[in-house]
Amino acid sequence: MARNLLVMLGLLAGCYGFNFVMAEFIEVVYVDYINLCGLAIILAVGLNVINGLAGQFSLGHAGFMSVGAFAGAYASIMLTYGVIESGPLSFVSMGSFLLCLALSGLSAAAVGALVGAPTLRLKGDYLAIATLGFAEITRIVLTAQDAIGGPTGLKRIPKMPLLPGSEKWDGGTSTFWIYAFVCLVILLSVNLQRSTFGRALICVRENELAAETMGVRASRMKIMAFVYGAFFAGIAGCLYAHYQHSVRPDDFTTVRSIEVVVMLVLGGLGSLTGAVVGAVIVTLLPQFLRPLEESLGLSGLSMVVYAALLLLMMLFRPQGIFGQRELSLKLLRRLVPGGGKESRP
């Protein structure tokens, strides 16, 4: 545990350095891409615990994200300005921001438990369609709330808090905050995946009845997976809201949920490395296709390429890029010729 804390501190320092490099040397457009990738990674790695490890096909991740986004953004606006009205942007204080993040994560996790509990009895595509339904209901309910702006949502969401020495960084501190949570979610998920809990989750995925007769409480495990995934979706939502400075309920449609699932499928469902790689590909692909789309005057092209990629993947490599493997030192050593010493009994 002490080692984990040290690792996390080291990673935080790394994120600070990363943000510094971004602010000083990298063009704003690319910084934006990198930040969007970070948000996608948090979503995908969280969802991987639900869809990949526990094998519960959830198609409603955008719903959890929206809950976190609105909870965090509303709290942040209230703590910073006290009222919802137009005006210049300012920074949210460090304490308030951490409070907002906690609120986002916890409210999304609560919704996760709420969604997880009644849908436990459903399997496969029925579960997928039910979680999709929950996400849509969430969006419609949010749209109907005038207190958070109705369909136009919240605007003038404060900037993420300053860090020591960050005053002159034009792009702000978003990269630090986003990547701090990227590191956190990856670290915790690696631990979870390798733990006895992670194994119990996989057992539920592989054969629920057998898991139950071995004493694994499948329902509790599934709810836990939903709570975990939803918590980080909520965090991602809060970061997203502060990064964009505005949120609308329509930012979180079914297409968004599908996007996160596609990241997992592309990378290899159940593989954390795959989730990260998938998140990066799915985020960057449309960004690079957009110039082409505009020059040809063909709107929709990037989505078509994306869909075609998905179809080809399913036809020729349905297990995704990584399958269920992880990028680890062991795998690297095996890839280097002569580097791996395979011992076979």
Partner 1 sequence: MDFTQLLQNMTNGVAKGSCYALVAVGYTMVYGVLQLINFAHSDVYMLGAYFAYWPAKWMGYLPDEKGGRAQDVPLALVGLFVVGSMAACAAVGALIERAAYRPLRHSGRLAPLITAIGVSLLLEYGGQMVFGTEPRLFPTFVEAQSYDVAGVKFANTSIIIVVTAAVLMGALTLFVNHTRQGRALRAVSHSFNNARLMGINVNATITMTFMLGSSLAAVGGILVAMDQPTITPLMGLRMGLKAFVAAVLGGIGSIPGAALGGLLLGVSESVVAYWSTTYSEAVAFLILIGVLLVRPAGILGSSAREKV
Partner 2 sequence: MSALLAADQLTMRFGGLTAVKEFSCAIESGELFGLIGPNGAGKTTVFNLLTGVYRPSSGTVTFAQSDITGQPPPSIAARGMSRTFQNIRLFDELSALENVMAGAHLRGNINLFDALLRTGRHAREEKRQRDWAYKLLAFMGLEERAGLAAKHLPYGDRRKLEIARALATEPKLICLDEPAAGMNPSEKQGLAQLIRRIRDQLHVTVLLIEHDMQLVMGLCERIVVLDHGETIACGKPRDIQSDARVIEAYLGVADG
306 binds, among partner 2, partner 1, none (CB under 5 to 8 A by kind): partner 1
Handedness of CA 259, 67, 156, 95 (dihedral sign): negative
Please, which residue, 36 or 200, has the CB nearer to partner 2?
200
Dist CA 223 CA 124 (whole Å): 16
Dist CA 208 CA 54 (whole Å): 10
Is 57 among the residues that bind partner 1 (CB under 8 A)? yes
Q: Are 13 and 164 in contact (CB under 8 A)?
A: no
Is 218 among the residues that bind partner 2 (CB under 8 A)? yes
Options 113-121, 170-178, 194-202, 237-245: segment touching partner 1 (CB under 8 A): 113-121
The DSSP result for 216-273, as a single string, is: --HHHHHHHHHHHHHHHHHHHHHHHHHHHS-B-GGGG-HHHHHHHHHHHHHH-TT-HH
Min separation Cβ 188 and partner 1, Å: 26
**H-assigned helices in the chain:** 2-25, 28-47, 61-80, 94-119, 124-143, 174-194, 196-206, 208-213, 218-244, 254-267, 272-296, 301-316, 329-335
Task: Please report, as residue ranges, which positions from 125 to 144 form the binding site for partner 1 (by CB under 8 A).
Answer: 125-126, 128-130, 132-134, 136-137, 140-141, 143-144
Among 307, 331, 332, 335, binds partner 1 (CB under 8 A): 307
Min separation Cβ 217 and partner 1, Å: 18
Is 73 among the residues that bind partner 1 (CB under 8 A)? no
Is 261 among the residues that bind partner 1 (CB under 8 A)? yes
Is 319 among the residues that bind partner 2 (CB under 8 A)? no
Dist CA 297 CA 249 (whole Å): 29
Options 34-42, 172-180, 189-197, 305-313: segment touching partner 1 (CB under 8 A): 305-313
Is 200 among the residues that bind partner 2 (CB under 8 A)? yes
Among 224, 238, 241, 269, binds partner 2 (CB under 8 A): 224
Min separation Cβ 236 and partner 1, Å: 21
**Helix-helix angle 174-194:196-206, to 10 degrees:** 70
Interaction site with partner 2 (CB under 8 A)? 1, 3-4, 188, 191-192, 195-200, 202-203, 206-207, 209-218, 224, 324, 345
